[in-house]
Amino acid sequence: MSHTTWKRVLWQRQPYPDNYIPPDSFLASLRRNPSFTPYTYWPLVLSCCPITQHLGTIFIFVAVFVRLQERSLDARLLLWISVACFLVGYLVWEVLDYSSPSRGPLTRSSLLKSSLLFFLTLMSLAPVLKTLTAATSSDSIWALSACQFLMNTLLADYGYAKSGPQRRLSSVLSMNAAISSSVVLASRLPDDLSVFSLVLFAVQLFALFPMLRHRFGAVPPILQVALTVSISALSFALTMSLSPFVAALTSAIYVTVNVVAPGILVWAQRYKKQAVPLYSFP
């Protein structure tokens, strides 16, 4: 072998075979994980809270539906609860608006007008909704609504709004899936008032609550945790009296999502191998 040293150039013919690989310089410029900041456990747990809240609302909704169908819950009571939820939610919205103003497109008067319009339209549509799926068997309805809730969970936007009121397509799809699922479930109910109050409740939970949740990025973590705990406790209490098995399943899901999954992600980071050879961008 010749004594000239190998150079990393192509324009010069070198006295080495083409498959010669110098012992030390191969991949010498490779850097591992250069732009990598590992996740830590507690911030991950905190950012999993919206997922648990969302799952909680779905379980609460299903429990309320079962009670309405078994006639163990008065539809008028649900109506008042919905109205109360709306007022409380609106109050929170105003408080958040006061601390960090958003350029929302709605003024207070137009908000009132559209709320009333929606309320009345829904009321007049309730008899139609009740007979919407009269020709379909209940089994198909359960399967359909389960699929749609699954889609709702997968596509929901769990992040916090950074700027502006723009929404992603997937979160709109997610909301549509939940609302149509609640409409087909409501059509199984025995009377018009139950249908009306359940759909109204669904709108609170699946259309208005996610909008509010998007703005929770600004609230202190302790309130986030408190809200998550109370929603999951409420859904647990509501399902416990219906079926202890489902209640156990619910809490298992909560623990997995909020405690185990962040741990798995933190653990799995040790396998992260982000190899970036020098001078290749990005």
Partner 1 sequence: MKDGALSIAMVSDFFHPDVGGVESHIFMLSSNLIRKGHKVIVITHSHPPDRVGIRWLLPSLKVYHIPFPTIASSATLPNYFTFLPYFRTIIVREHINLIHAHASLSSLGHEAILHSHFFGVRTVFTDHSLFGFEDAASILTNKLLAAALKNVDAVICVSHTGRENTVLRGQLFEASEDNPSLSAVRPSVYTIPNSLVAEQFTPSPQPLPSDTINIVVISRLAYRKGIDLLVATAPRVCAAFPNVKFIVGGDGPKLNDLLQVRERHLLQERIELLGSIRHRDVRDVLIRGSIFLNTSLTESFGIAILEAACTGLYIVSTRVGGVPEILPEDMISFTDPDEDDLFWAISEAIQIISEGKHNPQDAHERVKGFYDWMQVAERTETVYRSVMQSKPIDLWARIQRTMSLGPFAGPIYTAILFVDCLFFMVLEWLMPREDVDHVHVHWEPEVFGKLVASMN
Residue 5 engages partner 1 in binding (rule: CB under 8 A): no
| Residues in binding contact with partner 1, number by CB under 8 A | 21
What is the nearest approach in angstroms of partner 1 to the Cβ of residue 273? 9
What is the nearest approach in angstroms of partner 1 to the Cβ of residue 279? 5
In whole angstroms, what is the distance from residue 254 CA to residue 45 CA? 11
Nearest to 89 by CA among 64, 115, 62: 115
Site for partner 1 in 12-31 (CB under 8 A): 12-13, 17-19, 21, 26-27, 30
Residue 36 engages partner 1 in binding (rule: CB under 8 A): no
Residue 275 engages partner 1 in binding (rule: CB under 8 A): yes
Of 87 and 275, which has the nearer Cβ to partner 1?
275
Lookup: tokens for 27: 């991949």
Residue 38 engages partner 1 in binding (rule: CB under 8 A): no
Nearest to 225 by CA among 46, 100, 74: 46
Site for partner 1 in 65-124 (CB under 8 A): none
Alpha carbon 193 to chain centroid, angstroms: 30
What is the nearest approach in angstroms of partner 1 to the Cβ of residue 43? 23
What is the nearest approach in angstroms of partner 1 to the Cβ of residue 2? 17
The contacts of residue 35 (CB under 8 Å, 6+ apart) are: 274, 276
